Chains A and B, each alone.
Chain A
Amino acid sequence: CCGHFWTYNRMTVGQFEELLLLPQHLKSEEEEYGCEDDRKRQKLLEAISALGGKRKKRLGERSEAAVQMSEFTVNAEGEGDKIDLSDLIGTMDKTPAISAKTKNRLRKLQKSKKTIECPLSKQETERIQRDVAFQKAATEVSRWDGIIKQNQRAEQLVFPVNQEPSGPKPMERVVTSWKAQTPLEQEIFALLSANKQPITDPILTPTETASLKAMSLEEAKIRRAELQKARALQSYYEAKARRERKIKSKKYHKVHNKDKRKVFLKQFDEMVKTDPAAALEELNKMELARMQERMSLKHQNSGKWAKSKAVMAKYDEGARKAMQQQLEVNKELTQKLITSLNNEEEEEGVDVEVMPDFVNDAEQGLDSSNPWMREEDTEKVEETEEEALLREFDSRRKLRQAQEADVVPSAAEELDASDKEAEELTEFTSLFRGIAEQAEAAADASPSDTKTQLDEGLMRIKTLEDVELLSQEESAPEIASVQPQPSPATENLPHATQQGGKNRKRKRGIELKEVLTKETKVIQVPLAPTVEDKEDSDENLDQRGLIKEAFAGDDVISDFLRDKRKQEDAGKPKVVDLTLPGWGEWGGMGLKVSRNKRRRFRIKTAPPPPRKDERLPSVIISERKNSSISLHQVNSLPFPFENHSQFESIICSPVGRTWNTERTVKRVTKPKVVTRLGAIIEPMAREELMRDKNHGSAGNAK
């Protein structure tokens, strides 16, 4: 009925209801049944009654089934009577089709007295519907998240997305309906089919496909990589063993053996715990070796080689060493595994007897690897250390006793001095901070937004000269705009100099010495506290004292002054001596260049402009910064980079073919978006999503 709404205003309510009562199609049906006359009459009567002003309640009737039937016009006979649920349920018992379950439920419903909540307003329901629909659409759209992210990150995007691969196509794709017709063709096809050569798919034979199925390419690759790795490892290992075998260095072998022995000992210890039987066997082996050694004279100085060495040993240190090594081996081998101290001493004695005298004589502490010398040495060292410690403790005790008398006043003095120092330091830092803040403010004020914007002007570029002109012309305002940039230094400068000027009227400038220096005190550092005197002396040293102690040696201020002076000196004009001997004079050995000539050729360079930090006592402004270069330099870290080194590395790695191989150049200079001339790029299709899901790879990122 909505088609009739527009006439709503012009009609009376009654007429409107009638219209509602008789939708068009309903009318036509009635015509067929031929009962229109009655209805017309009734309508007329009703219209007349409506004109009378009195609104009588009409009794509608519902004679036929229709899709559209207004709920307002349906009246039952017993209208006004209240319908109870029991009325409906009463008929229910007679119909056998209704199950017992529903009957029970209805009965329960009859008993319950709760009222049903009234339905939500139209606005509310619409809002809920909209919200639900939106959520649905949002989740649907969110499926694209993965592909969109992927494409944003992709190094290169190729459009159109689904390009057919270029190159030769298989025959049957080009010619779909083609049959062998000539006898030659038929013969060829017969041969092909006899040999199971593929006709429809001319790429692979059945055996080939079978082999492909047996092992896919990726699997094969993985397998081959594994094999390669194993082979490589083996060859490495072999090469290593060969190399080690070839090494002649004794020292190397000694160290090596030592290592081995250590490992063996460890293993042995473990073995004792875990497998005593095997350990016992090992022990027996060792014992056997010892016995053999003791029986033989293998490592003693009785062999032919040893004798020859013994002759040489007096003059040759190497020989001496070799002998000693041998003796060590002997000693080790002949040592009993579990021996008492006495035995050891005895054995040592024996060894000493065995050894020729001169071996020890010539040593004289040259070789610390000598075990005897070593032992003696360590003993001595230990003694001396102990003595020294004792002596130190004594002296310290005395010192402390002496100090304790005047600890209190001196501590107070120190505190005062340190306070003053701290105050001055804070002044210093506040000065620095002020400068830094000004710099920040200046940086804030400068428009940072201009970076991304186009530089739109009234000039038009037509030739290269124009570009040059542009750069000349615009560099001037650029300079002007740049100059406020280094404001931390320069802007600050006049301010500072003004102050300086004021002071100068009184005092002729700030004297660096007066401002900064103070006598660098020699701070008496108490001896480093040891564990022993901690108990009684710690209370006096508070935090400040400790810090002072820690940085006792540093004198920051004088260091700074020294630095500054050094920089100033470096900037001062230097005399350049350009005299060359022989020109205009006699030349030769031992001749002096005349003073006249020297005076003429010594050139004094012009003094540089006054330093910017001349009147700033606490600042060093480097003069080395070249403003003409800084015009071409990047002055702040560009957006995607996180630190300077990243940016620098990008800038410093060249991309041209002069510095890179062809392949690298191609890879590096790959354009981000590739489009093909004359190819229509269709919007992203839903199939991409499916494809992405299927094999988890990029839709069009390559």
Chain B
Amino acid sequence: MKVKVLSRNPDDYVRETKLDIQRVPRNYDPTLHPFEVTREYTRALNATKLERVFAKPFLASLDGHRDGVNCMAKHTKSLSTLLSGSCDGEVKVWNLTKHECVRTLQAHEGFVRGMVVRYCGASFFTVGDDKTIKQWKMEAMGYGEEEVPLNTILGKTVFTGLDHHQKDGVFATCGQQVDIWDEQRSSPIRSFTWGVDSFSCVRFNPVETELLGSCASDRSIVLYDMRESMPLKKVIMTMRSNTLCWNPMEAYYFTCSNEDYNLYTYDMRYLQRPVTVHMDHVSAVLDVDYSPTGKEFVSASFDKTVRIFLKDGGHSREVYHTKRMQHVICVKWSADSKYIMSGSDEMNIRLWKANAAEKLGVLAPRERQAANYSQKLKEKFQHHPQIRRIARHRHLPKNIYHQTKELRIMKEARSRKERNVRKHSKPGTIPVVSEKEKHVVTVVQ
């Protein structure tokens, strides 16, 4: 007779080395796990709370400028290098990992209006109030040598903005008109004008590299093709746009920061109405920059805050501010999409994390898995009121808080009035105008 006995194979439960993790046999039968949803809900709630607790986005403040920081430029090849130009014409090159200034040069008299690094990373261009375009070497001068620009172009009018082509030795400036320059020549190879106005910003499309966009002081945004002799199209909005930034992953989308506290994302093929209106700032928006992944963008505002928006989100997902940060004039998103740099009026450049609660540095595999899991849980339960409430909570300075409230009341009052007017007038005479259509005056061909 055969006697049956219970036996287990040690291979199933004995670790090979003590460094292995313990093997946990599991039964995945759902009938054995009646409380899975509630358990996951609790985990999601805890993950959300921890995220809020660990949300410490501010990393460093780089001080050294003797006037407000007016413009910044990312290095195209090096992540740790940042260039900044101030209102007194000084340009500083920073090492972000060491939090220190590695080079200072007096580039212009008056403001440094714009700066951009050449695509190869070997030199950079600056424009200033002294009507000059200067090209500088990226490498620091030797000891005792004088800082001399590689090349200086004397213009007839003040330049207010500058951008470089993605792959060719061509750059664009704006001022009284938009000029396209060849690096080898001292006069523009092409200049675009359309009516009489001055431009505040010009940007090359990073994907379709021959296209440009610019913001003009007559409240318009003008599109150009470098190869054509004429501008392409112009959209006039109710208020002036300050800057514009193209989405680096999606060729036909760009976002502009406007004086009316909003940002607008346009599809360049359909300028009649913006794709999305991004609201939340309580003062003029001065600068905008896309994340290199093209999923989000960051905006700097006169209301002393930096906000991060999803590219298709109507409201911001994050707001950064500190007590000492004044009007934020320029902002950049680092090329590895992990950091945000903001330059403000009170002469400082601040370094922020792009995801406030993210752990920086190399993650162990299990750590990464845990982070992914908690992220997924937060996403899954994001609609539950308690979790949503905690995830949405942000601290705001008092004045901005009250201003937001005031703006909301004003907006409600306006919409109420409109509704009442509509109610008391002949049906059909007062059309319902959507928020998107409200801000576009005309599109000029």
Determine whether the beta carbon of B372 is less than 8 Å from that of A670. yes
Q: Is there a chain B Cβ closer than 8 Å to A658's Cβ?
A: yes
A677 to B368, CA, bound (A): 13
A378 to B64, CA, bound (A): 110
Residues of chain A at interface, number, CB under 8 A: 75
| Across-interface contacts of B393 in A (CB, < 8 A) | 454-457, 459, 461, 470, 474
Q: What residue in chain B is nearest A648 (Cβ atoms)?
A: B37
A684 to B233, CA, bound (A): 24
Closest approach, in angstroms, between the C-beta of B29 and any C-beta of chain A? 10
| Across-interface contacts of B386 in A (CB, < 8 A) | 471, 631-632
Closest approach, in angstroms, between the C-beta of B149 and any C-beta of chain A? 26
Closest approach, in angstroms, between the C-beta of A669 and any C-beta of chain B? 4
Stretch binding the partner chain, chosen from B101-109, B140-148, B157-165, B205-213: B205-213
A657 to B207, CA, bound (A): 41
Q: Is there a chain B Cβ closer than 8 Å to A389's Cβ?
A: no
Contact partner of A151 (CB less than 8 A), chosen from B249, B369, B396, is B249
Q: What residue in chain A is nearest B78 (Cβ atoms)?
A: A680
Determine whether the beta carbon of A683 is less than 8 Å from that of B206. yes
| Across-interface contacts of A661 in B (CB, < 8 A) | 28
A170 to B209, CA, bound (A): 35
Contact partner of B28 (CB less than 8 A), chosen from A468, A655, A660, is A660
Closest approach, in angstroms, between the C-beta of B297 and any C-beta of chain A? 14
| Across-interface contacts of A448 in B (CB, < 8 A) | none
| Across-interface contacts of B389 in A (CB, < 8 A) | 455, 471, 474, 478
| Binary flags per residue of B262-275, CB closer than 8 Å to A gives 1, else 0 | 00000011000000
| Across-interface contacts of B208 in A (CB, < 8 A) | 137, 140-141, 144
Q: Is there a chain B Cβ closer than 8 Å to A650's Cβ?
A: yes
Q: Is there a chain B Cβ closer than 8 Å to A192's Cβ?
A: no
Q: With A142-B252, A673-B293 as given contacts, are A458 and B380 in contact (CB-CB < 8 Å)? A: no
Task: Tell me the A625-679 residues at the B interface (CB within 8 Å).
Answer: 631-635, 638, 650-652, 654-661, 665-666, 668-671, 673, 675-679
Stretch binding the partner chain, chosen from B4-12, B84-92, B222-230: B222-230
Q: With A638-B383, A681-B337 as given contacts, are A131 and B445 in contact (CB-CB < 8 Å)? A: yes
Q: Is there a chain A Cβ closer than 8 Å to B3's Cβ?
A: no
Residues in B lying within 8 Å of A, measured CB to CB: 26, 28, 30, 33, 36-37, 39-40, 43, 49-50, 52-53, 55, 76-77, 79, 166, 206-209, 211, 223, 225, 228-233, 248-252, 268-269, 280, 292-295, 313-319, 335-338, 361-362, 369, 372-373, 375-377, 380-381, 383-386, 388-390, 392-396, 398, 400-401, 404, 445
Q: What residue in chain B is nearest A466 (Cβ atoms)?
A: B53
Determine whether the beta carbon of B336 is less than 8 Å from that of A680. yes
A87 to B316, CA, bound (A): 76
Q: With A131-B445, A452-B313, A470-B393 as given contacts, are A656 and B166 in contact (CB-CB < 8 Å)? A: no
Q: With A142-B252, A659-B30, A683-B166 as given contacts, are A454 and B317 in contact (CB-CB < 8 Å)? A: yes
A670 to B371, CA, bound (A): 10
What 10 A-B pairs come out closest when comparing CB atoms? A683-B206, A683-B248, A681-B292, A455-B392, A460-B395, A467-B49, A144-B251, A134-B232, A638-B383, A654-B36
| Binary flags per residue of A443-475, CB closer than 8 Å to B gives 1, else 0 | 000000001111111111111101110110010
| Across-interface contacts of B294 in A (CB, < 8 A) | 684
Task: Tell me the A137-170 residues at the B interface (CB within 8 Å).
Answer: 137-138, 140-142, 144, 148, 151, 157, 159
Residues in A lying within 8 Å of B, measured CB to CB: 126-127, 129-131, 133-134, 136-138, 140-142, 144, 148, 151, 157, 159, 451-464, 466-468, 470-471, 474, 478, 631-635, 638, 650-652, 654-661, 665-666, 668-671, 673, 675-686
Q: What residue in chain B is nearest A159 (Cβ atoms)?
A: B293
A526 to B280, CA, bound (A): 71
Contact partner of B336 (CB less than 8 A), chosen from A141, A677, A686, is A677
Q: What residue in chain A is nearest B317 (Cβ atoms)?
A: A454
Closest approach, in angstroms, between the C-beta of A454 and any C-beta of chain B? 5
A262 to B231, CA, bound (A): 83
A-B contact pairs, 28 of them (CB 8 A): A129-B228, A129-B229, A140-B208, A144-B207, A159-B293, A452-B313, A454-B318, A457-B396, A457-B401, A459-B393, A464-B49, A471-B386, A471-B390, A638-B383, A651-B381, A655-B380, A656-B36, A658-B26, A658-B36, A659-B28, A675-B336, A677-B336, A680-B292, A681-B292, A683-B166, A683-B248, A684-B207, A685-B207
